[in-house]
Amino acid sequence: MFGYYLDLALRSFSRHKALTGLMVLAIALGIGTSMTTLTVLHVLSNDPLPGRSQMLFYPQLDPQDLDGYRPGVEPPGQVTLIDGMNLLRAHRAERQALMTGGSVPVEPPRGDVDPFFADARYTTADFFPMFEVPMRYGRAWSAADDQAKARVAVISRSLNDRLFGGRDSTGQLLQLGDSAFRIVGVLDAWRPSPHFYDLHIAGSYARAEDVFLPLQSALDAKLAINGSISCWGGYAVGQLATAPCVWLQFWVQLDDPAQAVGYRSFLEHYSQEQQALGRFQRPLNVRLRNLMDWLGYQRVVPSDVRLQTWLAAGFLLVCLVNTVGLMLAKFMRRNDELGVRRALGASKRALFAQLLVESGVIGLSGGLGGLLLALGGLWLVRQRPTDYAALAQLDAPMLLVTFALALGASLTAGLLPAWRACQIAPALQLKEA
């Protein structure tokens, strides 16, 4: 029967081309607008590490003084160097990484490339296995390299292409200002989205850094820090090693809920110890959020993207209301045809199914048009000067959503017109004929 209903739908389209075209256009406009904004929202709210995000946690402590204290206030989003090193040495997690962002002057080994500055990440050895960073050549440095303040480096694939033409550069020296670091590894293509491990620099959807260095080695070489720094008690930024300033990010890997409970308890005990030593002055205030909870708390998805999604949903609703009116007009014009079918024995259910098949075909046609409009809309998004613009790509799941939404919307819009058309009294239509 579906083939028969499909044939009837196509015949109807040829007889009512204008109305059919308007309905397809209305659905295409609504779907195209909605899928553009939904796709952007989808890519921006992605899990950057599927399968691992539930095991990665971001601890927060509150080492600040009582100046400006308010009960219930959130602890700082970063840690001091003293606390970060203390937590590292305690080693209460499966893996842990202390880090900050920086900027380094790169002096290329080739004379045809001018010196330039590159974004850097000063971190500890667990950063690479904990975040499953892919390696193209070589390896990451070890915990022993961290302790020895070894002058070693891992560079990005794009920087390796720029400096060494894409060949294996492990063992080569990387000159960063007055300091030389030996390259031990080259990353493969890697761009976690969002830039979850440090939301304080370069934007939530920035590209990964080009140079990765051991934290202590970078500090020893006095390389520039360009992350967010917050101090209290009258201390200056230049005293970061000992001053009460939060400027480092600290991540831990906890493989099961029991470990997470145990680690939170450890953070509470640590804070109480620091209170007894006089370092922490505020009441006990710790947090331990997993990766996705941390992204949600930080509201990494721009508010304008969420607003645009709601506006697009409203526009789709307007398009559907218009489609309902057009379908109602189209179906009611066919009273004679539907009345004859009822008089010849077709049931209301059969007519209802026929008209819904017709609505579905209109929806799929509108979905195809909406897909083309969405691709155009995403191209326009990629031209915007935002850090997430390059991420606006339609993937396979969103492609399926496009047609599912178009089909569902058209079937929903066709319910009322199809029901009204099925209420036709066949006797009345035969009498008028």
- Please list, residue by residue across 294-328, b when 16 or more beta carbons sit within 10 angstroms of its beta carbon and e when fewer do: bbeebebbbeebeebbeebeebbeebbebbbbbbb
The Cα 65–Cα 280 span in angstroms is 7
φ/ψ of 370, rounded to 5, equals -65, -35
pLDDT in tens, 310-340: 888 898 888 888 888 888 777 766 666 666 6
263 token code pair: 């680690």
pLDDT at 219 over 90: yes
Query: How many other C-beta atoms can be found within 10 angstroms of the C-beta atom of residue 395?
Result: 12
Question: Lowest-pLDDT range, 230-239, 282-291, 424-433?
Answer: 424-433
Structure tokens at 39: 């796709």
Residue 8 pLDDT > 90, yes or no? Answer: no
Predicted confidence at residue 111, as pLDDT, reads 74
28-76 pLDDT tens trace: 998 899 899 888 888 888 888 998 999 999 999 999 988 888 888 899 9
Taking each helix axis as running N to C, give the angle between helix 348-382 and helix 335-343, from 0 to 180 degrees, rounded to the nearest 10: 140
Question: φ, ψ for residue 306 (rounded to 5)?
Answer: -65, -40
CA distance 402 to 370: 8
Give tens-digit pLDDT for 341-382.
666 666 777 777 777 888 888 888 888 888 898 889 888 888
pLDDT score at 238: 62
> What's the confidence (pLDDT) of residue 333?
66
The pLDDT score that the predictor gives to residue 188 is 95
